[in-house]
Amino acid sequence: MSILNQHQIASLTYREKIALIDELWASLDISEIGTSLDDAYDHILEQRMADCDAETEMLITLDRASRQLREMLRGASTYTVGATDAA
């Protein structure tokens, strides 16, 4: 079997591409598929857990967010703003 290049693959119809994928899948060794997929899923899960842990460290409570917002708004109200400040 010859290996197709990008141009040849792009010129296939949708049905031909699906048939090619089906043939490729059928030709794979099932034991290798399981191991490869397990490794890939493990990597994805580890990455998602790390992302979640990083985001959790940035979380604050609603009370703290409300307090910070009130303080910010109080600080902004002390500044006098005139019509010339808009430009």
pLDDT tens readout for residues 24-81: 888 887 776 667 777 888 888 888 888 877 777 677 888 988 998 998 888 776 666 6
User: Are the beta carbons of 54 and 46 closer than 8 angstroms?
Assistant: no
User: Are the beta carbons of 35 and 28 closer than 8 angstroms?
Assistant: no
* Residues 21/14/5/33 CA torsion (nearest 10 deg): -10
- Single-letter code of the amino acid located at 61: T
- Is the pLDDT confidence value at 86 over 70? no
Q: In angstroms, rounded to a whole number, what is the distance separating the alpha carbons of residues 26 and 57?
A: 45
pLDDT tens readout for residues 1-24: 568 888 999 999 999 999 999 998
| Model confidence, pTM | 0.35
